A = this chain, B = another copy of it.
Amino acid sequence: MTTPATATAPTADALSIDIGRVLNRLRSAAPRVHCLTNAVAQAFTANVLLALGAIPSMTLAAEEVPAFAASADAILVNLGTLDESRRTAFALGLEVAEATGKPWVLDPVFVDRSPPRLALARDLAARRPSLLKVNAGELAALGGAEALAGVPLAVTGPVDLVQVGARTLRLANGHPMMGRVTATGCAAGAVLGACLAVEPDPLLAAAAGLSFVAIAGELAARSAAGPGSFVPLFLDALHALDAASLGQHLRLA
């Protein structure tokens, strides 16, 4: 809200240095991300966080979420497979996030396909997530960026857009193969949480997290014979990612 109305966009070289520092801090700090996420994404999300150097925790049990959230460095709220136990877990996790100022990411997956999910997503977006991760369809269902004024946005697509107040970045990495593997987007939400745990500026945290995932995806897709072999290559690429490869591969649009 207090960002300048105009801001000079960084070059890819300058940005890659900044996100390389985020990666190094992430590796040193090994932040814990408590993931309140959907049933399909849980195992892959845990493996993505571990490969990158963060620590996942995953319980949704009402009696456990407060303690796990309180000791986590960031919280992910992913609205997939939205059952009663997840609704309760979200409420408990957000109480902790709001009481402690801990960063949290909202990922309203498929909000465009489910009216109760849309209603919940609107309520949660109004509670000002540190980042709201959406694709174009989900953003439209939520009323567009205008309806979400004040919420830092990470809008994924062929070009990823990060928008925080008047500041925007457009990131051009990624590969269509990522859409042929379930939960890559959901796991990216958890990576955004890990970045927010070590980088307070949501613009830079979002650019870092989206780039880590998109560049690892690009590198994996180069060697993959299909979506099956993509998965281990993607996790290996996240694990091997470093400032030099970010500098070499980061592209802005």
Contacts and interface: CB of A to CB of B under 8 A. Distances in A.
Interface size class of A (residues with CB under 8 A): 35 or more
A47 B232 CA distance: 14
A242 interface: no
B61 A82 contact: yes
Interface string A62-92: 1110011001000000001111111000000
B235 A232 contact: no
A215 to B, nearest CB: 15
A249 B238 CA distance: 30
A80 to B, nearest CB: 7
A103 interface: no
B232 A229 contact: yes
Nearest to A119: B63
A201 to B, nearest CB: 28
A181 interface: yes
23 contacts: A38-B59, A39-B39, A39-B60, A40-B46, A41-B43, A43-B43, A46-B183, A47-B182, A57-B113, A59-B81, A60-B83, A68-B113, A68-B114, A83-B85, A180-B239, A226-B232, A226-B236, A226-B237, A226-B239, A228-B232, A228-B239, A229-B235, A231-B232
Interface of A: 38-44, 46-47, 50-51, 56-64, 67-68, 71, 80-86, 110, 113-117, 179-183, 224-240
